[in-house]
Structure 1
């Protein structure tokens, strides 16, 4: 299984590098294309630079929803170190970011874990929380039972055991019991009812446009709120924008990396819209040998 725990540490290191002024990344460039969007995301530190170019087509059925690549460059010379598969990097680094947030913010990291979604992101998050936190009670929820059971079977082949919630009552029970919840869908409307535990940790990873929201506004409005990147969230985090969140209520993850304040009572919501710095973290991990020898 991929080393998500080390990648989550790499994400934390890159966030610290940004605080120190060493790592930088401009806002994501987004270009509408028929049926989807083209995204371009550069980032650099004192050793390497990356440029991720991907397309997202939510309506794709015969092709992957996300396609693209990450070019990795030696910062001092411009030498191309190599290319990484964009969807793989996106899935793994997003799951690692959620894992890092859970390690810092979740009141109960033992589980149960509920993952809503059955795509690439859902699988990566199951693997990340299984490996990084040792969670063993995991429930999957998908739009169709067939797809959820197919993902569960595939995970079982990799040694990861999950349950599938097969009806409305089972889904509601899973929501009520979960200590941690991940929403990883392409839905534009809420996929989670506001019947969660009082100490729940929710990582909302699926939506990345101001019009889309996986979480109900009532939950967002009463939760303690965090984001992966404040500036990006202000224009892309539909879960927060549609709930009318005042941004002074929101804390960026990097602000709590090294010393979390006493946890206030109530649900915690972590919203991630993605950031090129996390691709930089993945590239640093993948090309550690090249960086060390350069």
Structure 2
């Protein structure tokens, strides 16, 4: 059987956000899932090569991508690569998915799932800090999954912010742009920046839900230390997986004990905790890519 090689558009079509969110829940309850630690190979010029395998009883996949921060602000994407999907029983390669599309959509779906479980007010308005691929995906996921109808965009690039606002309007939401994220105290916030500096310093409001997805190494940061400590002291901090203990730069640089915080798996079926600010720190995990592979494989015409 020849594998289907899907471009970005075809990959996105196989990964609708509601199905992704449903599959993420299912994957977290699947005892057959195995996710070894990802390999991060430093490359010249500050780039990295990521090798991220995962498997369950029926599907195996490996994501092979490069992350090149120097591409920010250029026509070249910061993340490039592929997700290769295999059938466990036969060993056959079934799909090759566009890596950046999988990364953007599964990350946004994880944030939407966390907001469903944790956000005091999951209807918004939504503040998106960063207008790149992740900002776009988060706008789409929060509008489609959570029913958000008002979006505020903050970006260092005014043209990028305007373009994302126009996209949000095309999806049926009201959308505006701001120069300073602190000027838009929304109940939902996602930070989707290159994480080379703090973009949020003070807590916008006491019942906020913040999904911070930009920083995925100990040296990257989007959130100020005081904001992180405020959430830990007076609200809740939840990390996506236990691997965040080595990767959650925002929390590590704030001097917080990352291992003490619950994971998304821990809180999905728990009763809501005390009210207060909620910080969801997402660092990425090959398990999320496996969930996307499962969704995409089911959408394949020949899939059982």
Q: TM-score under structure 2 normalisation?
A: 0.89
Provide the rounded CA distance (Å) in 2 between the counterparts of 1:64 and 1:289: 27
- Partner of 2:262, secondary structure, is strand
Which residue of structure 2 aligns with residue 213 of structure 1?
221
Deviations 1:43-73 (A, max 9, x none): 0000100000000111111311100000000
Given that 1:127 and 1:160 are in contact with CA atoms closer than 8 Å, whether structure 2 keeps it comes out as no
- Say if 1:59 and 1:263 are closer, same or farther in 2 by CA, change over 3 A: same
Which residue of structure 1 aligns with residue 240 of structure 2?
228
Match among 275, 287, 290 for residue 285 of structure 2: 275
Provide the rounded CA distance (Å) in 1 between the counterparts of 2:259 and 2:76: 40
Which residue of structure 2 aligns with residue 114 of structure 1?
127
- Say if 1:173 and 1:14 are closer, same or farther in 2 by CA, change over 3 A: same
Provide the rounded CA distance (Å) in 2 between the counterparts of 1:159 and 1:226: 30
- Say if 1:271 and 1:253 are closer, same or farther in 2 by CA, change over 3 A: same
- Partner of 1:199, secondary structure, is coil
Given that 2:140 and 2:171 are in contact with CA atoms closer than 8 Å, whether structure 1 keeps it comes out as no
Provide the rounded CA distance (Å) in 2 between the counterparts of 1:10 and 1:119: 25
- Say if 1:154 and 1:134 are closer, same or farther in 2 by CA, change over 3 A: closer
Q: TM-score under structure 1 normalisation?
A: 0.92
Tell me whether 1:152 sits opposite 2:165 in the alignment. Answer: yes
Given that 1:53 and 1:86 are in contact with CA atoms closer than 8 Å, whether structure 2 keeps it comes out as yes
Gaps of 5+ in 2: 1-12
Q: Aligned ranges for residues 1-294 of structure 1 at < 5 Å?
A: 3-17=16-30, 20=31, 22-35=32-45, 36-60=47-71, 61-165=74-178, 167-168=179-180, 171-174=181-184, 176=185, 178-223=186-231, 224-230=236-242, 232-258=243-269, 260-289=270-299, 293=303
- Partner of 1:40, secondary structure, is strand
- Say if 1:288 and 1:261 are closer, same or farther in 2 by CA, change over 3 A: same
Given that 2:201 and 2:226 are in contact with CA atoms closer than 8 Å, whether structure 1 keeps it comes out as no
- Partner of 1:124, secondary structure, is helix
Deviations 1:156-188 (A, max 9, x none): 4454542111x44xx3230x2x11100000032
Find runs of 4+ consecutive structure 1 residues off by over 3 angstroms: 154-161, 289-294
Given that 1:222 and 1:266 are in contact with CA atoms closer than 8 Å, whether structure 2 keeps it comes out as no
Given that 2:149 and 2:172 are in contact with CA atoms closer than 8 Å, whether structure 1 keeps it comes out as no
Deviation at 1:248, TM superposition (A): 4.9
- Partner of 1:164, secondary structure, is strand
**How many residues are matched?**
284
Deviation at 1:3, TM superposition (A): 2.3
Deviation at 1:145, TM superposition (A): 1.3
- Say if 1:76 and 1:126 are closer, same or farther in 2 by CA, change over 3 A: same
